[in-house]
Copies of this chain bind each other. A is one copy, B any other.
């Protein structure tokens, strides 16, 4: 038997592999050879899952919670998430509007399937999380990348919506805090954007995957100003539960029957022990621990931000969320991927080239994750400084 004459579907060629995967693979090789590697490339908190969550997961297994759940998730978790919106953000969300998903990826998948016909466009900022673009392509839609800069805090604003919306645009997508830039969209901005999208009779998707990880400013939710937004969230980042593959989607009531139908088909339900474990994520003692971790992320940002600026990197907007700094290195290179490769080979610091996040400025930017201890960040800054000097 042979498949040699078979051509994959066209979408496959249009979805580029992430450059960071090559760097991550090489970093692991070097590590296996005994090299000391500092990981600033990975979008994963370096903290383990909270012990309360782990214990709840163990208890769920002991209690035999290993069967399918409803496609929307277990009712207790949907209620707990609603409770969290009330307690942390003072926003009332009907649990019936909350769908538990296998990671935020599951929510993105459902939304792309729900909203995007072939040829439809979804507007998003360039730079953006690369999977967003690829989810649209997966469903034969297009991402409509709008280059954004320091003037709009590397975010879409109402002017962008009005200026770039066209006959094929179906939705606009925001991310706050943003991956890769760490910048936020204020509630005032969100209101303006919502009105602009509404005027176009479009849908608004708001990625709040890094919600809760903000520094010096209060965390917020788009649901405070727009009840009809599609809001994506995750237990991976603030709650430190990456490997549990659990997220959620808040959607307008009218979308829920369609979303449930899609969920029944594409994933049946999210992992059951993960759902029960996540109930412990909202306990006061767990939140207290997560707030300590947030303070530690804040200290890291407060160290890394001026240090990178001192190295001559351009970071015109102070990142106030997530755990990323998106730094301009146009004075150093116009080949961000090559620069990241060399930095890894020569100094053992792994980073992500701008190339993974978009087109505009992609060759002259690097994303640094501060999901590593301050000791390691200090060592990384020393190495990066040496690397830059050697090449000067």
Report which A residues bind B (CB closer than 8 A).
1-6, 8-12, 15, 17-18, 21, 44, 48-49, 54, 57-58, 61-62, 64-69, 102-103, 105-106, 109, 113-118, 120, 130-131, 134-135, 138-140, 194-195, 198, 201-204, 226-229, 241-245, 252, 254-255, 257-258, 261-262, 264-274
Cross-chain contact B244 with A18 (CB below 8 angstroms):
no
20 contacts between A and B (CB under 8 A): A1-B229, A2-B228, A3-B228, A9-B115, A9-B117, A11-B117, A15-B262, A15-B265, A54-B66, A58-B58, A102-B267, A105-B267, A109-B109, A134-B265, A135-B266, A138-B262, A139-B139, A243-B269, A245-B268, A273-B274
Cross-chain contact B48 with A64 (CB below 8 angstroms):
yes
Given A18-B264, A64-B48, A138-B265, A114 contacting B12 (CB threshold 8 A): yes
Chain B residue nearest in CB terms to A132: B265
Cross-chain contact A105 with B266 (CB below 8 angstroms):
yes
Cross-chain contact B264 with A244 (CB below 8 angstroms):
no
In the complex, the count of this chain's copies comes to 2
Residues of chain B with a CB closer than 8 A to A266's CB: 105, 109, 135, 138
Cross-chain contact A228 with B1 (CB below 8 angstroms):
yes
Q: In the assembled complex, how far is the CB of residue A102 from the closest CB belonging to chain B, in whole angstroms?
A: 5
A195 to B1 alpha-carbon distance, docked (Å): 7
Q: In the assembled complex, how far is the CB of residue A248 from the closest CB belonging to chain B, in whole angstroms?
A: 15
Given A15-B261, A138-B266, A266-B138, A9 contacting B102 (CB threshold 8 A): no
Cross-chain contact A113 with B54 (CB below 8 angstroms):
no
A267 to B105 alpha-carbon distance, docked (Å): 6
A20 to B135 alpha-carbon distance, docked (Å): 30
Residues of chain B with a CB closer than 8 A to A261's CB: 12, 15, 17
The 9 closest A-B pairs by CB, nearest first: A243-B272, A1-B228, A49-B66, A271-B271, A134-B265, A245-B271, A66-B243, A5-B201, A9-B117
Cross-chain contact B268 with A10 (CB below 8 angstroms):
no
Q: In the assembled complex, how far is the CB of residue A47 from the closest CB belonging to chain B, in whole angstroms?
A: 10
Given A48-B66, A118-B140, A201-B5, A102 contacting B265 (CB threshold 8 A): no
Cross-chain contact A272 with B244 (CB below 8 angstroms):
yes
A340 to B194 alpha-carbon distance, docked (Å): 46
Residues of chain B with a CB closer than 8 A to A115's CB: 8-9
A278 to B287 alpha-carbon distance, docked (Å): 31
A21 to B18 alpha-carbon distance, docked (Å): 39
Cross-chain contact B3 with A252 (CB below 8 angstroms):
yes
Q: In the assembled complex, how far is the CB of residue A63 from the closest CB belonging to chain B, in whole angstroms?
A: 10
A202 to B109 alpha-carbon distance, docked (Å): 27
Residues of chain B with a CB closer than 8 A to A64's CB: 48-49, 54
Given A67-B243, A117-B10, A1 contacting B58 (CB threshold 8 A): no
A132 to B139 alpha-carbon distance, docked (Å): 17
Cross-chain contact B267 with A66 (CB below 8 angstroms):
no
Cross-chain contact B48 with A226 (CB below 8 angstroms):
no
Residues of chain B with a CB closer than 8 A to A54's CB: 61-62, 64, 66
Cross-chain contact B262 with A66 (CB below 8 angstroms):
no
